[in-house]
């Protein structure tokens, strides 16, 4: 988030808090089948692994070349009866034609987007085949200094039609404020910086106490980091 590669320290309790915050709303449970599509170097994999296992689901590890070949990945989704899929918008955009061309039914009930900005208009071919009532599409936002996800927004038919690009509302026990440089909360329609607080905030940067002190302050309004 600061523009330089660095490690962040995420405690186990943050991962537990993430699953507790998302599980009920997403109805995650033992009947779900997830894919581990992403590299372990990408924090999206933390969500895929622990979101699945801590809710009792079955995790399918996607082979390297399958993840890079939309036709093979579409077949895996069908054959393994995958119900929960996590994708960057660009990867899903490549997957859509492969799933539609295959023609076979799939068991997907939930697709979660993260990692980059989503353009909802690109989802029109998907929802024409798989209505939102059958396959829920959720846009999530997060930054390096948190535990994968911070906000959540259910994509609507109106979003797809108009191109509205909302990242939604904070997860339970998370907070999001738009503030000035000194931490003052700004009114609506005034641009500022997003300050994230609550259960998902990292402990800090690995071996960077100076940068941690600068980027992980206690917010004067909420009293938490």
Residue 193 lies in a domain: no
Average of per-residue pLDDT values in the chain: 94
The model's pLDDT over 1-54, given as tens digits with 9 standing for 90+, comes to 556 778 999 999 999 999 999 999 999 999 999 999 999 999 999 999 999 999
Beta carbons of 90 and 44 less than 8 angstroms apart: no
Residue 116 lies in a domain: yes
What six digits make up the tokens of 99?
Answer: 């799933």
Q: What is the pLDDT of residue 103?
A: 86
Residue 39 lies in a domain: yes
Residue 19 lies in a domain: yes
* CATH code, domain with 46: 3.40.50.12780
Residue 221 lies in a domain: no
**pTM of the full structure:** 0.93
Residue 46 lies in a domain: yes
The model's pLDDT over 93-148, given as tens digits with 9 standing for 90+, comes to 999 999 999 888 999 999 999 999 999 999 999 999 999 999 999 999 999 999 99
* Structural domain boundaries, residue 92: 8-170
């Amino acid at each position: 988030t600061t523009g330089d590669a660095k490690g962040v320290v995420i405690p186990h309790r943050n991962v537990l808090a993430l699953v507790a915050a998302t599980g009920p709303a997403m109805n995650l449970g033992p009947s779900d089948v997830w894919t581990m599509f992403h590299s372990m170097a990408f924090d999206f994999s933390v969500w895929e692994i622990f979101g699945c296992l801590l809710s009792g689901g079955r995790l399918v590890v996607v082979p390297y070349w399958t993840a890079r070949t939309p036709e093979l990945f579409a077949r895996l989704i069908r054959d393994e009866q995958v119900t929960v899929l996590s994708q960057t918008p660009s990867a899903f955009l490549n997957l859509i034609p492969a799933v539609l061309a295959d023609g076979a039914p799939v068991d997907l009930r939930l697709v979660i987007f993260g990692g980059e900005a989503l353009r909802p208009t690109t989802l029109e071919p998907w929802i024409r085949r798989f209505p939102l009532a059958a396959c829920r599409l959720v846009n999530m936002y997060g930054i390096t200094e948190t535990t994968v996800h911070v906000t959540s927004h259910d994509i609507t038919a109106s979003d797809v039609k108009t191109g509205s690009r909302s990242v939604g509302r904070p997860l339970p026990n998370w907070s999001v404020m738009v503030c000035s440089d000194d931490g003052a909360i700004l009114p609506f329609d005034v641009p500022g910086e997003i300050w994230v607080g609550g259960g998902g905030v990292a402990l800090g940067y690995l071996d960077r106490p100076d940068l941690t002190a600068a980027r992980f302050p206690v917010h004067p309004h909420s009293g938490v980091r």
